[in-house]
């Protein structure tokens, strides 16, 4: 998704470029031409920088094709812009406006269309990556829960086994021992204690 920022920067530069190109084609006062041309040059520089920054991020063949289509559209629009600027300098404002509304407009639309396709590809890739991460998280979560459940079962089982073994070694139930202790504490020494016969050593 790093490329989304570069795409946004490119879009801003192209839209700005289109704005100044249209103003240049319709300017009756040619004293504005130099200002518009400076701004067109700055926009073109920003667009080129955004494309240059995005290009190393291209990963798949599909993305490379989309990026190439974007470059082609931008080149087409830039050529049309040059014609508009030249006609404007030559004071052929009507011809400049006609090319701006025709050839330049088509080049701009082609560029924006290619830009939208590349942008859509990026967001689609981001959604797939998010789905993959979510899938990995769910699997990890299930594994952790399973391990915790297994640990709990093992812990309970071990506790039960240890308790049974201790009871076997002591020779009685803890409840019975507690009753005898209570009776003795109350002064009743007549309570009978059931003792298991000792097991002869093997």
**In the chain, what are the domains?**
3-126 (1.20.1440.210)
pLDDT at 193: 66
41 pLDDT above the threshold of 70: yes
- Angle of CA points 196, 201, 202, to nearest 5°: 130
pLDDT band at 70 (very low <50, low <70, confident <90, very high): very high
93 pLDDT above the threshold of 80: yes
67 pLDDT above the threshold of 80: yes
Cα radius of gyration rounded to whole Å, the chain: 41
Tell me the CA distances in angstroms from 85 to 43, 90, 92, one per residue in order.
14, 9, 10
Q: Which residue has the tokens 């076997």?
A: 168
Task: Give the predicted TM-score (pTM) of the model.
Answer: 0.59
Per-residue pLDDT tens digits for 162-196: 877 776 665 556 667 677 778 777 777 776 666 66
pLDDT at 124: 75
Determine the average pLDDT of the residues in 153-167.
Answer: 81
Question: 111: which residues sit within 8 A by CB, 6+ positions away?
Answer: 14, 70, 73, 74, 76, 77
Determine the average pLDDT of the residues in 14-26.
Answer: 94
Rounded distance, CA 72 to CA 100, Å? Answer: 18
Task: Determine what percent of the chain is predicted with pLDDT higher than 90.
Answer: 46
15 pLDDT above the threshold of 90: yes
């Amino acid at each position: 998704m790093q490329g989304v920022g570069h795409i946004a920067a490119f879009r801003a530069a192209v839209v700005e470029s289109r704005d100044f190109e249209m103003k240049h084609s319709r300017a009756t006062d040619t004293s504005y031409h130099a200002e518009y041309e400076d701004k067109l040059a700055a926009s073109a520089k920003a667009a080129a920088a955004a494309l240059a920054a995005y290009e190393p991020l291209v990963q798949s063949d599909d993305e490379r094709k989309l990026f190439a289509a974007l470059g082609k559209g931008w080149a087409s629009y830039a050529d049309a812009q040059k014609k508009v600027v030249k006609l404007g300098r030559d004071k052929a404002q009507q011809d400049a406006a006609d090319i701006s509304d025709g050839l330049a407009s088509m080049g701009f639309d082609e560029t924006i269309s290619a830009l939208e396709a590349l942008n859509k590809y990026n967001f689609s890739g981001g959604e797939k990556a998010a789905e993959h991460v979510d899938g990995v998280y769910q699997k990890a979560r299930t594994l952790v829960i399973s391990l915790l459940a297994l640990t709990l079962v093992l812990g309970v089982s071990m506790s039960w086994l240890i308790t049974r073994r201790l009871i076997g070694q002591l020779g009685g139930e803890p409840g019975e021992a507690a009753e005898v202790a209570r009776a003795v504490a109350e002064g009743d020494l007549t309570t009978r204690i059931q003792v298991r016969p000792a097991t002869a050593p093997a």
